[in-house]
Structure 1
Amino acid sequence: MIATGLLALGLVLIIEGLAYALAPSLIERMLEVLRSLPESARRQIGLLAMVSGLLLVWAAHQMGG
């Protein structure tokens, strides 16, 4: 269980690092857009991302991963 958590965290950090390394100006523009959104919209985006991640983890688990 801990190994799976470390694997997941490592994969998230790789994807985040790639985004910052390959497109830093895009990240800045995305942050500006996020700042312009109301807090409720940012909260909904966060919840949607969390639910999507949960579904992906569940699907991977069902496949035997």
Structure 2
Amino acid sequence: MSPEIVPPMRRICEQCGRTDVWDEDTHNWVIAEEEGKRKVGDRHCIHEWDINGQYNPVTGETEPEG
């Protein structure tokens, strides 16, 4: 099985709580809605997303060459 890249589907700003989800139709991040309200956070925040070095987008096992 070859490795597969799996991008994150949700991100949350660690500063203001803004939450975005990945929209497959538009291939873009959109603001998430929870209980009918958009999780916009602070419009003046320079967002620091919770996707960091701990997130590993590679799944599956790599096969040795040869």
Per the TM superposition, whether the score is higher than 0.5 is no
User: Please, what TM-score do these two structures have when normalized by structure 1?
Assistant: 0.28
User: Please, what TM-score do these two structures have when normalized by structure 2?
Assistant: 0.28
Larger Rg: 2
Greater strand proportion: 2
Return the structure number with greater relative CO, CA threshold 8 A, min gap 6.
2
